[in-house]
Structure 1
Amino acid sequence: MSTLYITHLLDKLPHVATSRMVHSGIGVWVAWEGQLDAAFDGMLLDYGGFRMADALGQALWFFCGDEGLRALARIHVWGRVNPMPIFIEVFPASLLVGQKFDRTLSISVELSRQHTIPPENLDILIHPALKPQLAGNPGLSSTPVKPASGLARVAFERFEADPGLSYESGLSWLGVLRPLGDPLSRGTAEGWRNIAAELHDIIDRLGLKFQRHEGFLLFEAGGLRVFRTWCRDTVARVMRLKEEGEAGHYWPSVMAVVPSKGRTFGKDLPRRLGLDWDRLTPDFPHMSYRSAFLLGEEFRIHEARALSRGSNIDDWCNVSLVDAGEESQATGSLAVPLPSRLSVTDAKLCFYCGLSNHEPRHCPSKALAGPRPEVWERFGGLSVGGLEELSGKLDAALAADPVGEMTRRVAGREDMDTLLAAIFEIDLPCQLRMLEVVWRSRGKDLPAGQEQLGPREGDYVWDALAALKERNDENYENLMVQALTKYPRAYQPKSLQGFAAMEAGDWVKAVYYWQESGRLCYTALQRAYFLWLQARSLEVQGESHKAIGLYREVLRESPKWAEPVYRQGVCLVKMGFTDQGLQLFGQLLAADPSMFNRVMIDPELERGRLHILSALWRIWRQAQEEAAARVASLGELSESLRERFLADEPYLVESEARVQALAGLGKVGNFVAFKRLEAGVAEIEAAVRKKIEAEVKVMQQAQARQYEDLKSVQREAAWFPFPSLLREFNNDFNFSATKLHWMRTNSLDVPANFHKCREYLPEVDERIRTLRTRLITLRIVRDSTFFCMLLGRNFMWMEVAGLGLSLVLVPLFVYLFQRSGQGWMAQMMDQQKWQLQKGLVIILSIAAVALAAIKTALTFDSKKRKLFQLAEEGKLPVKKPKPRKKPRAKPKAAAKPKA
C-alpha cells in the first residue's frame, strides 16, 4: 500500500487573498485503497458535504455543521455490512470564501503535515475538539485509540455509531413563491395566473407538500436532492418562459427558500421570514449562502445587497443556473459589481443621488456645480473588464469615511473617481445644480434649455441656495425670509423651500412647495422640472406606480427629454418588471450609447441587476463582435490606403493616424467605445471613398492635361527638319506616351493601378517639362529653318523679278534717251550696258534681299500659323508614292505536241 499525504490535497485548494466570509465547520480527510464505491460520495453529498479537493486515493471534504457527523454515522453503519479499506479523519476546519465565491479550507499546521496508509477495514478517527458536538447527536460516541504513525500528535478517538438508529439527514427547506402585481388587477390577472400554474407544476411534479395563502405559494422540500432539483427546474423553466416572450406564460415572481430547522410550515411563513418582498430580485431563488453552496457548481451565486451585506454564511443571496440546459439558452453576465459601501441595508435612498449610505442633507452632490457631460466621455474610455477591480479599490477607499471620501473624490480625475462621478451624474436632474440651471435657463423646454443660460438674477435666493448646500440653517432661514418678502410671487424661493422640506423628511411640504412653484412658473421647461421633482419624491417613497404617471406628464411638457423615459424604466425595475424596464432602456440606448453605461452602474436598479447585466451582456457581446469586425475592416482599409497612396503623402499619414486611433477604441472594451468605433469606421470609410473618387477625377484631369501637352509637343516637334537628331527627345516622349496610355486604358478603381498612376503622373510631368525645355531649342531651329526657307523663297521671286527688270530697264533707258535728244547719254549707256547691267543686278539683289527680309519678318507668324492649321486639318498636300513597276512575266514555253 502507498502512503497518502494530505498536503497533496491542500496544494490543490485555491488561494484566497481576501476572504469575504469565514465559517467554522468540520473537515473530513478520506483515504482509501483501490476503487471507492460510488455510493460513498453520494452519502456525503446528500448530507451537505462539499468536496474541496481530491487526488489519487484520497479526498478532502467540508461540512458546515453537525450534518457531517450524521453522514459519518451512516457510513459507519454501512461499513459494518460492507467492509471497505477506508481511512477517515474528522477535525475542525474553517471555510474561507473569496470575493468571487471561490472557497478554500484553513486547518492547523500540525494537521496539514499528516500522512497515512489506508487500513484494511473502515476506520474513522475524530479530533478531540469535536467531541462536544457528539453529545448533541444521539447514538454517536468515541473511544480512545493508540496514536497512529504519520498522524498529528493529537489524542484522536475512534468514531462509533449505534447501528440501531437511522441517522437520516436533517436537511430540509421551506419555500415561498409570490408572483408580482395584484392578482385582482385586470391587467395582471392572466399573467399572474399563468406563472403561478407553471411554478405549481414543478412543485406538483416533485411531489412536494404545498399550500396557497394570500397570493403566496408555500412548499416544503425534504432532502438536498429534491431541493437542488426544484432550484434547477424552476430557474430553467422561468428562463425558458422569458425566451418565449408573449407566446409563453412568463410573469415576474419572487422566491425565497429557508432551512426548515427551527421553523414550522404554516400560512404565516412569509411574515415570519421578515423579508421586504418588494426588494427581492424577480425570477431567482433567494436563500442563504450556506444553502447556495450546497447546490454545487451547477449554480452561480449572486449577492443580494438589498437584503444583506453578504459577509456571513447565513446572509441572503440568490442563485442562477450556469447552464440552463434544455430549458433555456445559456447566457453570460457582465461582471460589474458596485462598491458595497455605497449602500446600507434597509436604509432610505438619497433623493439627490439614489445611494443609501447617507442622508440627503449630507449628499456629496452638493459639492458639484453644473452638468458634467465630460464624465460620461471619460467613463466611455474605461474597460468593462477593469470595472470590477476599480469597484474594489473604491470600496476600500470608502472604508473609513464614506461620505467624506465621496465628497473629496467626486470631482477627481482618477479612474475610480470617474466611476464614482458617473454614479452621481445619473441623477443629475434631482440635484441642486439642476435647480441652478432651471433658474438661469432662457429656454422653453428640456433638454435644449440646459444650454441656454443667462446670468444670475434676483437677490437673496442665490445666497440661500449656497446656505442650503453648506447646511447653514440659520443663515438659510434669514435669507429665505428676505427672499419671500421681496419676491412673494416668484417660484424660486418656493422651489428652494421644497428641497429644504425634503431634507427635513417632510414630504408633504416638499410636494406642496413644488406644486406651488409649478403654478408660479411660466415656461414648459420649468413646469416639467417641478413635475419631475414631485415624481421623484413619490419614487423615493416607494410609490413607483404613481411616479410613473407623473413622469409621463413630464414627458408631455418636454417630449424630447430622455430623463422621464429613463426614470419610468427605473420605476418598473423597482416594481419587479425588469423586462418592461429594459424595453424603455433599449429605446434610449438606440439614441445615446452612453445610456448603456448609465444602466450598467445605476445603484437604484439593484432589484433587477441580474437581469439587466445579463441583457446588457448580450448587447455588449454583439457590439464587441461588431467592433472586432470593424477593427478587421480597419486593417483592410489601412492596407487599401497603403496600396493606393504613396508613402510620403500627407493624406496617408493623416488617415493612418485616424485608423490607429479608431483601432485603439476597439481595445477599450466599453460599449460607448465600440459605438464610437462603429461610427468612426463608417465616417472614415465614407471619407476615403470620397477622397478616392476626388483623386480619380483629379488624376483623370491631369491625364487629359498631359495628353494635350504631349499632343502640342508632338505637333511642334514634328516640324523639326532633322528628325535623326531627336533620339533623347523621342525617348522621353515615348516614355510619357507609354505611361499615359497605360493610365488612360487601365481602371483606377484597382488599388495597384491607382498607386501606379500616382507614381506615373509626376514622372510624366517631369518628362513633359524636360520635353518643353528641349522644345525651345527645337522651336528655334524649326523657326529659323522655316524663316530661312520663306526668306529664300521671297528673295528668289524678287531676284527673278529684279533680273527681269534689269534686262528691260537698260534698253528702255537707251531708247528713251535717244528719243529725248540725249544721244550722247544713250550712246554711252549702250557702250557701257554690261557694266550698267551688272551694277543694276547688284543693286536689285541687295534690294531684293532687304525686301525679302522685311516681307518674311512681317508675314512669318501668319504663315506659320496657317501652315500649322492646315497640318492639323490634314489639308497639306501629300506626295503620292510612285507606283511600283510590276515585273514582266516570263513567256510560257510552247506546248509540245502529243505523240
Structure 2
Amino acid sequence: MLSFSTILDRAPRVPQSRMVHSGITVWAVWSGQLDPAFGQMFQDYGGFLVAEDNFQSVWGFFGDEALNALARMQIWGRVNKLSMSLVVMPASILIGPKLELTVGATVDATRQKVAPAEEIQIWIHPNLKAMITATPGLSTIPAPAPSGLMKVAWELLDPAPGLSYDSGLGWYFITKPLGDPLDKNTSEGWRTIYGKLQKLLERMGIKYVAHEGFILYPLEGLRQFRTWCREILVMIASLRDNNEEEHKYWPSVMAAVPKKGFSFAKDLPRKINLNWDKLTPDFPHMSYRSAFLLGRDFKINDARYASRGNSVDDWCNVRLAAEGDAAETGTVPIDYPAQLVSGDRPICFYCGLTNHDPANCPSKGLGEWNPGLWGRLAQLDIADINEQFKALDAALAGDTGNLAAALLSASDTKALLFKAAFEVNYASQLRMMEAVWRSKGKDLPGGLSQLSPREGEFLWQALDNLRAGNVEETEKFVSQALTRYTRGYHPRAVQGFLAMESGDWAKSAYYWQEAVRLSYTPLQRACFLFLQARAMEVQGDFQKAIGLYKLAGKETPRWVEPEYRQGVCMVKMGFTDQGMSLFTGLMASDAAIFNKVLLDPELERGRIHVLAALWKPWNEAELAAAEALEGLEAMSGTLAIHFPPEDAYLKETTARIQALAKLGTIKNYVAYKDVVTEVRALREAIAAKLDSEIKNIQARRQAQFEELKSIQREAAWFPFPKLLKDFNRDFNFCAAKLNWMRTTTLNIPENFRKSQEALPLVDERIKTLRSRLVSLRIVRDSTFFTMLLGRNFMWMEIAGLAMALLLVPLFVYGLNQFGQGAMADMVERQKWQLQKGLVIVLSIMAMGLAAIKTAITFDSKKRKLFKLADEGKLPAPKKKKDTSKKPAKPAKAGKDTGKKAVPAATGKATLPPGKAAPAAAKPGAKKK
C-alpha cells in the first residue's frame, strides 16, 4: 500500500499562501508502467501536477473540469486495462507568493493508504456527490472502500458510456490596437500587425469579428488556447526584435475571458468590466485560473506591477516562460509598493497618486525643491530599496492621509523613498509655483536657484491659503490681488489651481492660458504651458499634453521635465518603447533620471516593459562599473610602488580609491555611473600627477646635474687630487645616480620610486660637496694666487736686477761726464755694496708691486682661465709614465699662463656624455 503523506512530502512548500481556492485533488496510485496519455488527459482538462513519486502522483483541479476528466479516464480504462486506484477529494489549492501551486489536506487525509486496483477504480469523496449529480451523465455507486481510506462514505464513479465528456474549457480572446482608431498614425501602424494577425487566425482556423477597433475570436479547448497564446506572443516578439521591420510593429492590448457566463457578441469588451486604457500592451490578460491552466511554458505577471491579485479570478497577464526566464536576469529587480499606487480615485494633478484628491494632496506640505534627494537615493542598494518598499507598503496600509504627513516629515530611508515619489512630479506642485514667483532668472532649471524674498500684497496670502486648503480665504485674497495687479499673472495662476481642484478643467486651462499671455520671461511661460499640459495628461488627452509639453520645452530647452513627461505620456498610452527612447536620452545626460523612472508611480501601466527596458542600461552600467573596479586594486598597488607609504598624495588617493570601492558595492544605476566616471577621473588625475612628478624629477635632475657640473668645474682646479678621496666618493655617487635617472624609463613604477628616493640623497651629497668645496676653493685660490704672485714677482725681480746692473754703470758714467770724477771713483769703489743694497730695495719693491698687481688682476685672471677651460681651449696635458710619484711643479712665470691643476673628479663615475666639464691641463704642460 502507498501512503498519501509520502507523496505530499514531495509537494511544493507554501509557508504563506497568497491565494486559497476550493478545488479538487486527485490522488492516483498505479502498478506497472503508466501510460503517458494519463497525464496528458488530465492536463487537457485543466489539471496540474502537484507531486509525483514512484507509482503515485497528486493532481489538482480548480473546478468541475476534474469530473469530466475522471469520467473520460474511467471509460478509457475500460478499454485499456489500467491497474490503478484514484482517490478524488475536495481540497484547498494553495498559491504561494511566487505563484507556486500545491494542495492542502487535513490530518486524516494525510494518513490514508491505498493499493492499486487490478482494474481502474475512482473513489469519490461524499462531499463531491452534489457536483457529480449536477454533471450530466455522471453518477456514483456505493461500494466497500479499501481499508486504508478515511472512514467516510466513499463511492465509485460510474459514468454513462454513451457520452463524450468533452472539456467545458473555452475562451473568448479580444485584441485592441492602442491609439485612436480614427487616427491616421494608428491605422497605418496597426495595418501590418493586423495583417499578420489575420494570417495567424486563418492558419489556425479561427473565426473572428472586428468591431469598433476590437477583434474578437473564440478559442475552443485548452490546447487551442495554449497554442494561440504562444503564437501571438512569438509573433509580437519577432516584430519587436526585428530591426528591419521595426516600423511595422504596433502595440496592442489583449484579454481572454472564459466562455462560461459570456456570449460571443460585439458588446463583449464592455461586459467584462476591464479598463482597456490601463492594460499593459503586448501581454494577454486573463484570470489567474486561466493563466495556471496554460502550464509551465508561460510565466504569470500581475496585471498591475505593484498590485497583486488575491483571488484566482483576478486579472493577470502572461508571457512565454523562456522570455520570462531571461527577464529574471533581464529585469531590474524592484518590488514597487502596491499601497502607493492603489486607490480608486482619479489621478492627483499634483503627485500622480490615486488615493487622495488634489485638494488634500500631501505635496502641499512639502518645502522647496530638493534635488539633493536624488543624490541620497543614489547611495541606496537595490536590495535596501526593496526592503524599505516592503516597510512602506505595510506602513501605508492604514490611514494614508495621516501616515503621509508623518512620512514626509521623517528622515529615514522609508521616508526618503516616499518623498521621492512626490519629488518626481515637483514641476506641477504649488511649491514650484512659489519658486517661479520668487525666481529672478529667465531660464529653467537655473532660475530655481535664483530666488528673491517674497514680495507683493495679497499674492502670498492667496497661495498660502491654497496650500492650507482654505478655499474661501484663497478666493478673497485672489479677488484683492486682481484689483491690485490687473496685469499680473500671479492671480490667474492661483485661479487655475482653484478651478483644477474643483474639477473645472476648462476654467483651469483658460486661467493658465491667461497666465502665459501675461508672463514676461521664458521661465514663467514654460511653467504655465507645463501646467496646461499636465491638466491634459490627467484628463487622459495625451496627444494634446505631449504637444503642450513640447511648447514648454522650446521655451526652456535645458529643462528636462517637459521631455520626461512626454515619455510618461507615451507609456500611459501604451507606447512604452517610444517612451523609453525619451528616457534613455535623458539618462545619458543625467543618470538620476533612471531612479526617477524607477520610482515614478504613474508608469504603472507599462512598468513590466519599463523595468525590462531599464535592464539593458542597468546591466551595461553594472558591467562597466565592475570593469572599472577590476583595475582599481591594481591602481592602488601601482601607486604604492610609485610613492612611499608616508606620502600625502598616496594617502589621499588611497582613501579616494577605498571610497570608490565602497561605492562600487552599491547596486544602483547612478552609483554604477558614478563609479565609472570617478574611476576615469581618478585615472586621469593619477596620470597627470605622474606626468607632473616625472617632469619634476627630470627638472630636479637637470638642476642637480648643473650644480654637480659647477662643483666639478671648480674642484677640477684643486692642485692635490689625491687628497680628495671622500670628495670623489660623494661626487661619483651623485654622478652615478644622475646618469641612471637620465638613462632609465621613469614610467616604470619601480624606477619612478627609486628616482624619487635618489633625489634627496643626491641633494644631500651635493650639499656635502658644496660644504667641502669651500675649503677646496680656499686652497685652490690660495695656490693660484701664490702662482700668480710668484710669476709677477719674478718678472719684477728680473726687471729690478737688470735695472740695478745697468743703473750703477750709467750713474758712474754720468758723474764722469759732469766732472764729478771723485764721486765717480767713490761709487766705482763701492759699487758692489751699492748694488747689493739696490737689489734688496728693488726686491722689496718688486714683492710689493707683485702683490698689488696679483690682488688687482686675480679675479679677472681666474675667470678668464675658467672660461678657456669651459670652451676647451686649454692645451692638453702631456702624458707621463708615472705622474702620481712626481710632485707637481710650480708654473714658470711668463710661459704657463692658462695652466691649471689636475681635475679633482678623477674617479670611476662621470657626468652624462656631452655634459661634463673638459679635462684640465696638468701643471708644467706647454702651449703648442
User: Aligned equivalents of 1:800 and 1:372: distance in 2?
Assistant: 102
Residue in 1 that maps onto 2:770: 772
More off after superposition, 6-15 vs 375-384: 6-15
More off after superposition, 114-123 vs 868-877: 114-123
More off after superposition, 776-785 vs 231-240: 776-785
Residue in 2 that maps onto 1:203: 201
User: Aligned equivalents of 2:735 and 2:7: distance in 1?
Assistant: 84
Q: Note if contact 2:7-2:56 (Cα within 8 Å) is conserved in structure 1.
A: no
Residue in 2 that maps onto 1:458: 456
Change (3 A) 1:12 1:308: closer
Residue aligned with 2:322, SS: coil
User: Aligned equivalents of 1:505 and 1:359: distance in 2?
Assistant: 10
Residue aligned with 2:351, SS: coil
* Alignment counterpart, residue 414 of structure 2, candidates 413, 416, 422: 416
Amino acid across the alignment from 1:221: L
The alpha carbon displacement at 1:831 in A equals 6.4
Residue aligned with 1:393, SS: helix
For structure 2, which runs of at least 5 residues remain unmatched after alignment? 883-928
Q: Does 1:283 align with 2:282?
A: yes
User: Aligned equivalents of 2:421 and 2:813: distance in 1?
Assistant: 131
User: Aligned equivalents of 1:7 and 1:146: distance in 2?
Assistant: 21
Residue in 1 that maps onto 2:604: 606
User: Aligned equivalents of 2:504 and 2:677: distance in 1?
Assistant: 48
User: Aligned equivalents of 2:782 and 2:830: distance in 1?
Assistant: 45
* Alignment counterpart, residue 37 of structure 1, candidates 35, 38, 41: 35
Residue in 2 that maps onto 1:221: 219
User: Aligned equivalents of 1:69 and 1:724: distance in 2?
Assistant: 120
Residue in 2 that maps onto 1:894: none
Q: Note if contact 1:16-1:102 (Cα within 8 Å) is conserved in structure 2.
A: no
Change (3 A) 1:590 1:82: same
The alpha carbon displacement at 1:295 in A equals 1.8
Residues 480-526 of structure 1: per-residue CA shift (max 9 Å, x gap): 34333433443222211221221122223322322333333333322
Residue in 2 that maps onto 1:619: 617
Q: Note if contact 2:789-2:850 (Cα within 8 Å) is conserved in structure 1.
A: yes
Amino acid across the alignment from 1:866: K
More off after superposition, 194-203 vs 742-751: 742-751
For structure 1, which runs of at least 5 residues remain unmatched after alignment? 885-899
Change (3 A) 1:30 1:733: farther
Superposition pairs for residues 821-860 of structure 1, below 5 Å?
830=829, 833=832, 845-860=843-858
Residue in 1 that maps onto 2:64: 66
The alpha carbon displacement at 1:725 in A equals 2.8
Amino acid across the alignment from 2:739: H
Change (3 A) 1:855 1:15: farther
Residue in 1 that maps onto 2:497: 499
Residues 443-467 of structure 1: per-residue CA shift (max 9 Å, x gap): 2333332223222111222122222
More off after superposition, 73-82 vs 801-810: 801-810
Residue in 2 that maps onto 1:677: 675
Q: Does 1:585 align with 2:583?
A: yes
User: Aligned equivalents of 2:14 and 2:725: distance in 1?
Assistant: 86
Residue in 2 that maps onto 1:236: 234
The alpha carbon displacement at 1:807 in A equals 5.5
User: Aligned equivalents of 1:812 and 1:89: distance in 2?
Assistant: 165
Q: Note if contact 2:297-2:320 (Cα within 8 Å) is conserved in structure 1.
A: yes
Residue aligned with 1:607, SS: coil
Amino acid across the alignment from 1:358: H
Superposition pairs for residues 183-582 of structure 1, below 5 Å?
183-245=181-243, 247=245, 249-305=248-304, 310-324=309-323, 332-344=330-342, 346-582=344-580
Change (3 A) 1:346 1:799: same
Change (3 A) 1:580 1:325: closer
The alpha carbon displacement at 1:817 in A equals 8.5
Residue aligned with 2:49, SS: strand
Q: Note if contact 1:446-1:558 (Cα within 8 Å) is conserved in structure 2.
A: yes
Superposition pairs for residues 625-774 of structure 1, below 5 Å?
625-774=623-772
User: Aligned equivalents of 1:186 and 1:330: distance in 2?
Assistant: 38
Q: Does 1:6 align with 2:5?
A: yes
Q: Note if contact 1:4-1:58 (Cα within 8 Å) is conserved in structure 2.
A: no
Residue aligned with 1:262, SS: coil
Residue aligned with 1:209, SS: coil
User: Aligned equivalents of 2:123 and 2:765: distance in 1?
Assistant: 101
Q: Note if contact 2:7-2:51 (Cα within 8 Å) is conserved in structure 1.
A: no
Amino acid across the alignment from 2:783: T
Change (3 A) 1:8 1:309: closer
Identical aligned residues as a percent = 52
More off after superposition, 593-602 vs 749-758: 749-758
User: Aligned equivalents of 1:60 and 1:510: distance in 2?
Assistant: 63
Amino acid across the alignment from 2:373: V
User: Aligned equivalents of 1:31 and 1:838: distance in 2?
Assistant: 154
Q: Note if contact 1:143-1:160 (Cα within 8 Å) is conserved in structure 2.
A: no
Amino acid across the alignment from 1:143: P
The alpha carbon displacement at 1:269 in A equals 1.3
The alpha carbon displacement at 1:876 in A equals 1.6
Amino acid across the alignment from 1:786: F
Residue aligned with 1:759, SS: helix
The alpha carbon displacement at 1:368 in A equals 0.7
Residue aligned with 1:187, SS: helix
More off after superposition, 813-822 vs 340-349: 813-822
User: Aligned equivalents of 1:15 and 1:469: distance in 2?
Assistant: 48
User: Aligned equivalents of 1:84 and 1:728: distance in 2?
Assistant: 111
Residues 179-202 of structure 1: per-residue CA shift (max 9 Å, x gap): 123444333323222212222222
The alpha carbon displacement at 1:124 in A equals 3.9
Q: Note if contact 2:731-2:769 (Cα within 8 Å) is conserved in structure 1.
A: yes
Superposition pairs for residues 23-172 of structure 1, below 5 Å?
23-112=21-110, 118=116, 121-138=119-136, 139-141=138-140, 143=142, 145-146=144-145, 148-149=147-148, 157-172=155-170
Change (3 A) 1:10 1:131: farther
Amino acid across the alignment from 1:286: H
Q: Note if contact 1:177-1:217 (Cα within 8 Å) is conserved in structure 2.
A: yes
Change (3 A) 1:817 1:128: farther
User: Aligned equivalents of 2:32 and 2:173: distance in 1?
Assistant: 42
User: Aligned equivalents of 2:768 and 2:379: distance in 1?
Assistant: 56
Amino acid across the alignment from 1:740: L
More off after superposition, 600-609 vs 431-440: 600-609
Residue aligned with 2:166, SS: coil
User: Aligned equivalents of 1:98 and 1:779: distance in 2?
Assistant: 97
Change (3 A) 1:306 1:694: closer
Amino acid across the alignment from 2:584: G
User: Aligned equivalents of 1:142 and 1:335: distance in 2?
Assistant: 55
Residue aligned with 2:209, SS: strand
Amino acid across the alignment from 2:166: E
Change (3 A) 1:882 1:773: closer
Residues 405-458 of structure 1: per-residue CA shift (max 9 Å, x gap): 122213433222222212111111111101111211222333332223222111
Amino acid across the alignment from 1:300: K
Q: Note if contact 2:171-2:225 (Cα within 8 Å) is conserved in structure 1.
A: yes
Residue in 2 that maps onto 1:180: 178
Change (3 A) 1:715 1:207: same
User: Aligned equivalents of 1:136 and 1:820: distance in 2?
Assistant: 186
More off after superposition, 805-814 vs 742-751: 805-814
